[in-house]
Amino acid sequence: MDLSSRNIIRQKKLNGVVRNLLLACAVLTVFITVGIILSLVMNTFSFFKEVSLWSFLTGTEWTPLFANPQYGVLPLIAGTLIVTLCAAVIALPLGLFSAIYLSEYAHPRTRKFLKPILEILAGIPSIVYGYFALNLITPVLQSLIPQTEIYNAASAGIAMGIMIMPMVCSLSEDALSAVPTGMKHGGYALGANRLEVVLGISLPHAFSGIVSSFVLALSRAIGETMIVTVAAGARPTFTLNPLVSVQTLTSFIAQASQGDNAHGTTSYYALYAVGMLLFVITFTMNIFAHHVIRRRKEAMG
């Protein structure tokens, strides 16, 4: 057997080993995902043996550690919604506008300077953002709006918006940069100015990437724990006022995980019920985003 034949055989064996290794990694990922879901489902089922699904989803009092516990999750949903909306108001427009500037308007040197600075924000630990919200954003809000409480949803939402904004910017900028240059030149050849090219060509072509960045950023906001635990408080208040203390789904999970709940009690299984609700919310968001992207692609032919 000559040298070339041995090299071919060795290459085939190496390809087979790599293929099997990648397959094992993919199968392991599937098993881990299934294990997480089964753990949530089984413990959530134990919770709903004691508490009805209707009272869980429609109740307005959340006091699992009281002598007469109530398990209405609406206060946690309201707190999560307020913080996420505050973060979205900050992150989505600023991230998208920054991406448009970096991809369409900025000089290459400016882009190389600004983009790493924006991405540094994504590397800051979330606990730092939490204390930033508590020690800087909250005093500013209190000076502007005196009725703002020390722990409030607005400061947590603003800090969270700053944290997830680089994610929106980076992913949206990548999507906009992937628009073929020929399409943009075609727009300029037809007499369009730069803004018209951005609105009429770049944004529609990068729509799926931009929507994906929004969904990932909002999912990150919904699942964030440390910022809301430090800055938003731990009072499950059923309100839409962002200036008062609230408790989110994730901050309750962090609180319940500290050992205050005895294993096997209803309040212990409530942790898994809230986790399952959080999973369903983020999963539904991803399905909706996938549907919107598919419809958009079909409409564009």
Each residue's pLDDT tens digit, 124-141: 888 999 999 999 999 999
pTM: 0.86
Instruction: Give the whole-angstrom CA distance, residue 40 versus residue 187.
Output: 51
The answer, yes or no, to whether residue 301 has pLDDT greater than 60, is no
As a whole-number percent, the residues of the chain with pLDDT over 70 amount to: 95
Closest CA to 152 of 217, 77, 239: 239
Least confident of 16-30, 35-49, 72-86, 113-127: 113-127
Mean pLDDT of 196-213: 87
Residue 203 has pLDDT above 70, yes or no: yes
What are the tens digits of pLDDT across the range 234-290? Answer: 888 888 899 999 999 998 888 877 766 677 788 888 889 999 999 999 888 888 888
> For position 298, what pLDDT does the model report?
66
Confidence of residue 192 (pLDDT cuts 50, 70, 90): confident
Residue whose C-alpha is closest to residue 63's, from 49, 74, 50, 47: 74
pLDDT at position 163 is 92
Per-residue pLDDT, 260: 64
Confidence check: pLDDT of 83 > 90? yes
Residue 85 CB coordination number (10 Å): 17
Q: How far is CA 115 from the centre of its chain?
A: 20
pLDDT confidence bin for 84, thresholds 50/70/90? very high
β-partners of residue 63 are 70
C-alpha radius of gyration, the chain, whole number: 24
For residue 1, the model assigns a pLDDT of: 54
pLDDT in tens, 26-60: 999 999 989 988 988 998 998 998 888 899 998 88
At residue 27, the pLDDT reads 93
pLDDT of residue 259: 63
**195: nearest Cα among 94, 90, 300, 101:** 101
Residue 250: both structure tokens together: 């994730």
What integer is the mean pLDDT of 77-105?
A: 92
Q: What is the dihedral of CA 126, 74, 63, 52, to 10 degrees?
A: -130
Percent above pLDDT 90 for the chain: 37
Of residues 256 and 92, which shows the higher confidence score? 92
What's the confidence (pLDDT) of residue 262?
72
